[in-house]
Amino acid sequence: MLEDFVTEDNPVRVIDVFIEGLDLETLWFERVIAKGKGSSGYHPAILLKLYIYGYLNRVQSSRRLEKDSHRNVELMWLLV
């Protein structure tokens, strides 16, 4: 279980609490509520978490973020 590998004082928990506390719809994020057509896209909260994680860890490449999301336990926990 991923929860066992992320300690209580891990910075990814701060990112998670911060983003989950935002009302993305009032902040003008589009597609917070899915339209129900076609294949579903990524929720804006997930992408924002990924972006902030990359910024705090100095990961500028989207390709590297994608690669890290498959092998970094902290990032896996954050994006679930």
Checking if the pLDDT of 38 tops 80, the result is no
Question: Residues 9-21: what's their mean pLDDT?
Answer: 96
**Number of structural domains found in the chain:** 1
- CB of 20 within 8 A of CB of 45? yes
Checking if the pLDDT of 30 tops 80, the result is no
| Structural domain boundaries enclosing 48 | 2-79
User: What does pLDDT average to over the chain?
Assistant: 90
Report the C-alpha gap between 63 and 13 in whole angstroms.
23
Checking if the pLDDT of 31 tops 90, the result is no
Residue entry with tokens 């300690």: 7
- CB of 71 within 8 A of CB of 79? no
C-alpha count within 13 angstroms, C-beta hemisphere, residue 17: 7
